[in-house]
C-alpha cells in the first residue's frame, strides 16, 4: 500500500519514494533523506511563523490525499512523528504503511476492522472496529495543530489526569473558560 500511495501522489510535502525491492520475504523501501528530524522533536525550537507555515503545508498534503487523489487516500496515522522536517524546516509527511484507499463510489470511507492510528492522535471511536474516513485524518490533524499552537506533546507521560493527553487538557482548559464566560453573562 505504501508503494502504491507514494507512487500515485506527487506533492512537495510528501516524502519521496526513491526505490523498492522485494526478494522472497524481504522488502526494502528507499526514501529521500530528510535530515531535519521530526516535528515532534523540533517543535519547541520553532518560531510562530515557522509553525504556521508547517501547519499550512501539512494541510495541503491532506487536501491532496482526500480531495485531489482519485480514489481518495486516508493516511490513518497522521501525527507529529510522521512529519519530517528538512534542513530549511519544510515539512514532509511520511509513513503511509497503514494508509487505505477509499472504496469505489464512496469517497469518504475505507472499511477496516483493524486498529488504526496512534493513541493520542486517533479520534475517540477509532480503537473500535469501524470505517476509517477522511475525518479520522482531520481529527489527527487537529491534534497536530494543538501541538503546534501550544507547544505541548499529544501525550505527556510526566503529567497525570486530564493533563496527560493534550486533547483532554484542551477540553478542561476551554471547558473552564466557557463556564467562566457563561457566569459573567448571567
In this prediction, residue 100 carries a pLDDT of 86
Q: Are 72 and 66 in contact (CB under 8 A)?
A: yes
In this prediction, residue 8 carries a pLDDT of 82
* Residue in 77, 95, 106, 156 annotated catalytic: 77
pTM over the 0.85 mark: no
In this prediction, residue 182 carries a pLDDT of 39
Q: How many residues does the chain have?
A: 186
In this prediction, residue 14 carries a pLDDT of 95
Q: At what angle do helices 134-150 and 48-63 cross, to 10 degrees?
A: 180
> CA 88, CA 168: separation in Å to the nearest integer?
33
Residue reference for cell 448571567: 186
In this prediction, residue 158 carries a pLDDT of 76
> CA 47, CA 43: separation in Å to the nearest integer?
9
DSSP-derived 3-state class of residue 68: helix
Quick check: is 77 catalytic?
yes
In this prediction, residue 168 carries a pLDDT of 66
C-alpha cell, 15: 516524502
| Spans of all domains in the chain | 2-154, 156-186
Q: Are 141 and 59 in contact (CB under 8 A)?
A: yes
- The dotted CATH code for 2-154 is 1.10.510.10
In this prediction, residue 180 carries a pLDDT of 37
H helices within the chain, ranges in order? Answer: 2-8, 39-42, 48-63, 134-150, 166-185
pLDDT by 10s per residue, the chain, length 186: 788 888 888 899 999 999 988 899 998 999 999 999 999 999 999 999 999 999 999 999 999 999 998 888 989 889 999 999 999 999 999 999 888 887 655 445 444 545 566 666 676 655 544 566 788 888 889 989 989 998 888 777 677 766 666 776 555 555 544 433 333 333
Amino acid at each position: 500500500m505504501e508503494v502504491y500511495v507514494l507512487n500515485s501522489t506527487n506533492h512537495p510535502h510528501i516524502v519521496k519514494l526513491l526505490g523498492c525491492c522485494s526478494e522472497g520475504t524481504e522488502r526494502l523501501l528507499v526514501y529521500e533523506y530528510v535530515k531535519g528530524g521530526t516535528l515532534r522533536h523540533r517543535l519547541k525550537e520553532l518560531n510562530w511563523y515557522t509553525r504556521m507555515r508547517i501547519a499550512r503545508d501539512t494541510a495541503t498534503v491532506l487536501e491532496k490525499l482526500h480531495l485531489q487523489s482519485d480514489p481518495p487516500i486516508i493516511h490513518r496515522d497522521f501525527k507529529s512523528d510522521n512529519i519530517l522536517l528538512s534542513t530549511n524546516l519544510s515539512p514532509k509527511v511520511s509513513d503511509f504503511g497503514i494508509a487505505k484507499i477509499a472504496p469505489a463510489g464512496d469517497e469518504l470511507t475505507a472499511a477496516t476492522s483493524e486498529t488504526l492510528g496512534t493513541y493520542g492522535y486517533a479520534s475517540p471511536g477509532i480503537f473500535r472496529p469501524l470505517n476509517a474516513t477522511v475525518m479520522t485524518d482531520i481529527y489527527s490533524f487537529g491534534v497536530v495543530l494543538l501541538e503546534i499552537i501550544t507547544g505541548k506533546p499529544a501525550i505527556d507521560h510526566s503529567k497525570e489526569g486530564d493533563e496527560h493527553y493534550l486533547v483532554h487538557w484542551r477540553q478542561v482548559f476551554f471547558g473552564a473558560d466557557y463556564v467562566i464566560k457563561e457566569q459573567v453573562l448571567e
